[in-house]
Amino acid sequence: MHSTEFPPHRPIRSFVLREGRLTGAQERAFLELWPRFGVDWPPGERIDLSALFGDSRPVVLEIGFGDGESLAAMAERDPERNWLGIEVHRPGVGHLLLLIERLGLGNLKVIRHDAVEVLTQGIAPGALDGVQLFFPDPWPKRRHHKRRILSAELIALLARAIRPGGTFHAATDWPPYAAQMLETLDGASDLFENSAGPGQYAPRPDARPLTKFERRGERLGHPVHDLIYRRR
Ligand SMILES: C[S@@+](CC[C@H](N)C(=O)[O-])C[C@H]1O[C@@H](n2cnc3c(N)ncnc32)[C@H](O)[C@@H]1O
């Protein structure tokens, strides 16, 4: 990892980069497809979403898309919206670039960066129709809880970035994290309304495809919780 891409000034991050090798196809994707579907975001700069997508359709941002299979499926099914995926893991980004090419998706772009920084610096207030966060790293050890991405800080960023009436959708297969998400989000009821009612998890929406980590969780017998909130 290039140190200038992730300067060490934000001490606690929600990820630890374990790079893993790129396949030959993923190497090619970075060379040939990144210029078409990737976004070179200079940190600190506001992203002009209409210019990026070439139209002013509503934009949904996904934090930590993993291998991108579920994000690509959602973008393919919903061409009336534009989709912006953020992920730090290079093989996952390469995998999604290949999918975008294979499916011929014109409404999906990829940023390889810390999503917290992109939300903080790159997104204008009220610019997003929705944000989704599926199966974020649960950081189960108590001493690692501070790395969990869903925090009061993130909720403040989401509240700024999502338009009134827009949606925040999270899902996790780690029950203690689900409980923390519910408590933190319900605690911000001045900003977000729980679509299922206070204290309730949402029924799994049909629109959310099974993700890679969800499948893994299912094999391990983990129950899945969805949380869907509307920005007031
Ligand atoms: C447990 S995986 C889940 C991936 C995918 N959503 C799924 O359900 O299969 C969490 C992903 O979030 C990414 N991630 C964690 N923190 C991030 C951040 N701050 N910005 C961007 N990606 C992040 C990790 O690299 C990892 O791929």
pLDDT digits (tens, 9 = 90+) for 127-161: 999 999 999 999 999 999 999 999 999 999 999 99
Which one of the listed residues 67, 137, 190, 226 is annotated catalytic?
A: 137
Amino acid letter for position 98 = L
Listed in order, strand segments (DSSP E) in 28-127 are 59-63, 82-86, 108-111
- Across residues 207-221, what is the average pLDDT? 94
Residue 192's pLDDT is 98
Catalytic site residue 137? yes
**Does the beta carbon of 229 sit less than 6 angstroms from any atom of ligand 1?**
no
Supply the residue whose CA is at minimum distance from atom 24 of ligand 1: 64
The rounded mean pLDDT for the chain is 95
Kind of pairing between the strands at 192-194 and 82-86: unpaired
Using the 3D structure, point to which of 58, 89, 124 is the last residue of a domain. Answer: 124
The domain boundary, picked from 99, 124, 149, lies at 124
Q: Mean pLDDT throughout 57-75?
A: 98
- Domain extent for 201: 137-232
Q: Is 217 touching ligand 1 by the criterion CB < 6 Å?
A: no
Cα of 14 to ligand 1 centre, how many Å? 8
Give the HSE-up count for residue 97: Cα atoms under 13 Å, Cβ half-sphere: 27
Rounded to an integer, what distance in angstroms lies between the CA atom of residue 44 and that of residue 9?
A: 14
Residue 53 lies in a domain: yes
The domain that holds 99 is classified in CATH as: 3.40.50.150
pLDDT reading at 2 higher than 50: no
Compute the distance from residue 33 Cα to the ligand 1 centre, in Å. 21
Average pLDDT over residues 67-86: 98
User: How many residues in total does the chain contain?
Assistant: 232
Between CA 118 and CA 6 the distance in angstroms is 12
The verdict on 87 and 165 lying in the same domain is no
pLDDT at 5: 60
Given this model, what pLDDT does residue 19 score?
Answer: 74
| Ligand 1 contact via 137 beta carbon (within 6 Å) | yes
pLDDT tier, 3 (very low <50, low <70, confident <90, very high otherwise): very low
Alpha-carbon distance of 160 to 185, in angstroms, equals 14
β-strand pairing of 128-134 with 59-63? parallel
pLDDT interval class at 18 (50, 70, 90): confident
pLDDT of 6 strictly over 90: no
Within a domain: 182:
yes
Structural domain ending residue among the three candidates 58, 90, 124: 124
Best residue among 12, 18, 89 to mutate for probing ligand 1, ranked by most atoms within 8 Å of CB: 89
User: What is the model's pLDDT at position 17?
Assistant: 85
For the beta carbon of residue 178, count every other beta carbon within 10 angstroms: 21
Q: How far is the CA of 58 from the centre of ligand 1 (A)?
A: 23
Confidence of residue 7 (pLDDT cuts 50, 70, 90): low
Residue 12 falls inside a structural domain: no
Inter-helix orientation angle 90-103/69-77, to 10°: 30
Ligand 1 center–CA 185 separation, angstroms: 20
What percent of the chain shows pLDDT beyond 70? 95
Counting ligand 1 atoms within 8 A of each CB, the residue from 1, 41, 61, 65 with the most, and so the one to mutate, is 65
